[in-house]
Structure 1
């Protein structure tokens, strides 16, 4: 019997991005940038790069504008309507954001990414895998099975449509820890980009599942991730 080796664990995805994509003097667009933590770190390490961060959450976008950085431009827009000329970028990054594109706009988002990435440029998409204890917890109030499958299906179609070359698929784990249930609610439930209100019965069920993972050091999980890297033909 051959045992599978455990997946690599990463707390900073910039390490993997740096291994897969040349980052010197790149024109980069991050689609669904959130607080742009990765892009900020990237620009510190690669000062010749320039990043345009797109975000549809107006609250997060306002917070980004209030925290500017050199060579980092913020735009309120989604992947389905990228306000940039054709072939503007060398690299598009999507971190846990493709499955947030509305289902009826995913094909439009694909067409937009194809339009703004230059020939030879890259599309780096990192998506959560639909499995694991943390996923089972999130499913209680936010089941993303359908949208995550749609996101991966879109990438598979892109790799087969003649406009992209599939360069790599990489799987890894991200360790995730919460001090307590209040910390989990603050970070995963009370988010600005989605309305995740639910009734007390759902909260009671969620708390019971969460408590099974509590230790003296808090609750610890592993989030499995899948990176798909495509190159524009």
Structure 2
């Protein structure tokens, strides 16, 4: 078996992740999906729009964001709930696919093993785990790391994924490396969507704030700031 890699030298092709989601080898359709760390529900909407899932359980640990998600009334197949990967409120073998979009590295490091055990428990035989994680690199990451350096937690998330495969909980189906387009209209747009998120408290000193702003604005053009951020998708199947 090809060894798992945390990054790709050239970052991979520029790709819309919806292409990968549309090509998932689901054992049956419509399937039952679980999303861990759904945030604002942006990816939840993509899953719902694809028509491949009869139901989606979308979990979020941030109570402030969860309360906002409960106000969503245009996703009839989606149920939002408060909870994390280390303790999933779902029955054994109750879902066919688990999705984590930029959320695995937010699981407390000492609970990553428990999180994979929980994913294994709730998945039906042959069920899939789709893990989309940002790769630590690129111009966009250089801005983020000024106030929120995730190198350690992203590496730990990858090692936990590899351990779950090595231990036989899951088998590796594929790894896909790609670059995603990331765009902000202005620094104010970036500040609202990234610095002011409620799931992580960012406290920037005036000097650091000015450094982040100047570094960001160096990438501003007539149509905003555009980046190509490297990502890795690890697709696993319940062994």
TM-score normalized by structure 2? Answer: 0.91
| In structure 2, distance between residues paired with 1:71 and 1:54 | 14
What secondary structure sits across from 1:142 in the alignment? coil
Report the equivalent of 2:54.
Answer: 49
SS at match of 1:20: coil
Instruction: Provide Cα deviations, 1:59-84, integer angstroms capped at 9, x if missing partner.
Output: 11111110132111111000000011
What is aligned with 2:68?
A: 63
Q: Residues 22 and 50 of structure 2 are in contact (CA less than 8 Å); yes or no, is this contact kept in structure 1?
A: no
CA contact (8 A) 1:31 1:55 kept: yes
1:21 and 2:21 matched: no
Contact residue 48 and residue 77 of structure 2 kept, 8 A: yes
Matched, 1:144 2:166: no
Name the CA distance, whole Å, in 1 between partners of 2:68 and 2:35. Answer: 16
> Counterpart in 2 of 1:38?
43
Aligned to 2:88: 82
**Mind listing any 5+ residue stretches in structure 2 that lack a counterpart?**
1-8
Aligned to 1:124: 130
Q: Deviations over 1:198-231 (max 9, x none)?
A: 1001011112211221222221111110000000
Alpha carbons of structure 1 residues 177 and 26: separation in structure 2 relative to 1, 3 Å: same
User: Which 5+ residue runs of structure 1 have no aligned equivalent?
Assistant: none
Give per-residue Cα distances to partners, 1:45-64, cap 9 Å, x unaligned: 31652100000111111111
Shift of residue 42 of structure 1?
Answer: 2.5
Do the aligned partners of residues 5 and 147 (structure 1) sit closer, same or farther apart at CA in structure 2, a change above 3 Å counting? closer
Aligned partner of residue 23 in structure 2, secondary structure: helix
- The question of whether the paired residues in 2 share the 8 Å contact of 1:165 and 1:230 is answered with yes
What SS class does the counterpart of residue 91 from structure 2 fall into? coil
How many aligned residue pairs are there?
A: 229
**Structure 1 residue 72 corresponds to structure 2 residue 65:** no
Q: Is the 8 A contact 1:14 1:38 kept in 2?
A: no
The CA deviation at 1:44 is 3.0
Give me the whole-angstrom Cα distance separating, in 1, the residues matched to 2:53 and 2:105: 30
Which of 167, 178, 181 is the aligned partner of 2:187? 181
Shift of 1:29: 0.4
- Distance in 2 of aligned mates of 1:181 and 1:37: 21
- Indicate how the Cα distance of structure 1 residues 164 and 192 shifts in structure 2: closer, same or farther if over 3 A, else same: same
Q: Distance in 2 between matches of 1:47 and 1:219?
A: 34
Contact map agreement 2:33 2:53 (CA 8 A) in 1? no
Question: 2:19 matched to 1:10?
Answer: no
* Greater Cα offset, 142-151 or 80-89: 80-89
